[in-house]
A and B are shown apart, each in its own frame.
Chain A
Amino acid sequence: AQSVAQPEDQVNVAEGNPLTVKCTYSVSGNPYLFWYVQYPNRGLQFLLKYITGDNLVKGSYGFEAEFNKSQTSFHLKKPSALVSDSALYFCAVRDSTSGTYKYIFGTGTRLKVLA
């Protein structure tokens, strides 16, 4: 069975500092991994994905994520946080061996960037 964990309910970081939002996963086959952001009263917006290829993936708004197969992790990072990055972030995974298009979402991490 596939699963994904976001161990931190909330991450606080000062504006201008680097940020990391953690995600670990468990799948039977190869993982398809995604990060989404949700602003208040809005739907989720896609940030970036890892399907195959380079372990470092770059996405929207200056975010990037590193796929680490040995640690089964896909942490979201940004070199310099902005106050406007404050939002709820979701990691999602789909197992490549799954016959259905089922994505499992993490429980979300609230990022708060302090001015």
Chain B
Amino acid sequence: DTAVSQTPKYLVTQMGNDKSIKCEQNLGHDTMYWYKQDSKKFLKIMFSYNNKELIINETVPNRFSPKSPDKAHLNLHINSLELGDSAVYFCASSPSGYNEQFFGPGTRLTVL
């Protein structure tokens, strides 16, 4: 079974559209994250939830809104997509704040 899964794997859409990416972990972890990896492979944290509570909210446009319906799921909704949103988005989870993170396979978002 996949530990951290993301859907979809690829997402191609037009500027101005609204899209969502879903993440699920079956590891029983308390903490989940969203990261953005740009074309230069730089990895930047966007959000983190601990037991469904938002604990990290980096300087991200408010077009990005995370939602955690339960401890095993963390979704990312993006409104009014822009060209600069094109990137690979990774979901990750960890059992606690000082343990390693388990990453999903990524969602490659392309905004045309």
Contacts and interface: CB of A to CB of B under 8 A. Distances in A.
Interface string B36-63: 0000111111001010000110000000
Contacts of B68: none
Nearest to A110: B41
- Dominant SS among interface residues on chain B: strand
Contacts, number: 62
Interface in B1-41: 4, 31, 33, 35, 40-41
Interface in A28-50: 32, 34, 36, 38, 41-46, 49
Interface in A89-107: 90, 94, 96, 100-105, 107
Interface string B72-112: 00000000000000000010101011111111111000000
A14 interface: no
Count class of interface residues, chain A? 20 to 34
Interface size class of B (residues with CB under 8 A): 20 to 34
Which of B90, B92, B96, B98 is packed against the most chain A CB atoms within 10 Å? B98
Contacts of A96: 98
Contacts of A100: 48, 55-56, 97
Given A43-B90, A107-B41, A108-B43, 12 more contacts: A34-B101, A43-B92, A43-B106, A49-B99, A94-B97, A100-B55, A102-B56, A104-B45, A105-B43, A105-B44, A107-B40, A107-B42
Top 4 A-B pairs ranked by shortest CB distance? A43-B103, A101-B97, A46-B100, A105-B43
30 contacts: A34-B100, A36-B103, A42-B106, A43-B4, A43-B92, A43-B105, A43-B106, A44-B43, A44-B92, A45-B103, A46-B100, A46-B102, A49-B99, A90-B43, A94-B98, A96-B98, A100-B97, A101-B31, A101-B33, A101-B94, A102-B45, A102-B48, A102-B56, A103-B45, A103-B101, A104-B45, A105-B44, A105-B45, A108-B41, A108-B43
